[in-house]
Every structure is written in C-alpha cells, then in structure tokens.
Amino acid sequence: MSRTKIKFCGLTRVEDVQHAAALGVDALGFVFCQQSPRCIDIEQAEKLLAVCPPFITRVGLFMNDQASTIKQIIKALDLDVLQFHGDESAEFCASFGYRYMKSIAMGGATDLARLDEYTQASALLLDGNEPGQPGGSGDAFDWHSTPQVLEQAIILAGGLDSHSVADAIKQARPYGVDVSSGIESAKGIKDKTKMIKFVNAVRLADGC
C-alpha cells in the first residue's frame, strides 16, 4: 500500500514549521488569503520558508486574489505549488506557470461537475467548507462521496484530526490529507502533540 502524503496548512510560526519538518511532513501550506485568520504577509512568509528544509513542498494558498497580487508574492517567495480556494477558472490557475492544486468545496450545494474543469491541476483538494468560505473551517464531508476515477491526485481536507483521519483514508483512499484546525490549539497556532498524533494516525492507517 502506498504511503498517504501529509500536508500541514496555515502555518504562522517558525517553531511550527520546524516541528512539521522533524515529523517528516510532505508539504506545508502558507496562507495569503485575506479572509483567513491564518493569513501571513511576505515578510512573515520569508521567515517561515527560511527554516523549511529541502524535500518539503512549499504551497502558497490564495482565494479570489488579483493576478497582480499573486505575481508579487510568487516573485518574492520560493514557492513550489499554488493552491486556489476560490472561484478561479482553470485558465487563471494555470496562468502563473506553477503546478497548482484546486480546492473544491464539498459542503453545501457541491457541483461535482467542476472537477472536470481542472484537467491541468496537479491535484484536487476536496474540502468540507461551503462554496465561498476559506479553508480551515474544520467541517467534514461524506468521504464516501470522494470520486475514484479522476486523473488528478485527490487530497482530503476538512474535519480531519488524529481521531478521524484513519477513517477518511480507509473510506476514500486519497493520495494525501491536508490538515489545519485539527492540529491547532488556536487558529494559526499549531499544537506539537496534535501534530505528532496526526502523523502517527496516518502512518498507522497506512500500515507503516
């Protein structure tokens, strides 16, 4: 069985980046979405990226931002992948010359037909939030509804923590899992113990 990839999202502190790296997390998400309480600016991101070691994918998260804003951020920072959480079109997502992930809101009235629009996406992130809401809500969705016939990698998000992630993996068999609020003591403040328990739960579910 392949190993489920792990992404920690919404990091705001240097020590949290260091703890995540020590745990062998595959990707770290840095939020530039103004609607999110985990939003950071370029100066903060520079400090966080400076302690991010090689072989960890650095993801910049945006939501309905102007192209000029995104270009300013990616010019200033060494990001690997862009993640879009809003109403961005496939053409817009691909226009920056980066690999990208597109978030699909699975809460509320979800239009699964949109999954077919983002054929160039490296991955589709299925989140429990409702359309128009930023990620990190902590809301789950029915993991049985996860599509199994898409070409893109599927990443699960929303309502995941050390208690629920094993069930999510067993039900949906995703490429990866993405967690934010499930490893926090407060919004944007990661909890070291919760981080450890989450990683251990994923490894246990994988049989590692």
Average pLDDT over residues 183-192: 97
**Class of the domain covering 5-206:** alpha beta
- Catalytic residue of the set 127, 139, 161, 178: 127
DSSP letter at 95? T
pLDDT digits (tens, 9 = 90+) for 32-52: 999 899 999 999 999 999 999
Residue 136 banded pLDDT, cuts 50, 70, 90: very low
Of the candidate ranges 53-57, 98-102, 108-112, 121-125, the one whose mean pLDDT is the lowest? 108-112
| 145-174: average pLDDT | 86
Q: Residue 177 above 80 pLDDT? A: yes
Query: Which residues, 6 or more positions from 92, have their beta carbon under 8 angstroms from its beta carbon?
Result: 67, 84
What are the backbone dihedrals phi and psi of residue 95, each rounded to the nearest 5 degrees, phi first?
-75, -10
Tell me if residue 16 is catalytic: no
Indicate if 9 belongs to the active site: yes
Write down the domain spans for the chain.
5-206
pTM of this prediction?
0.91
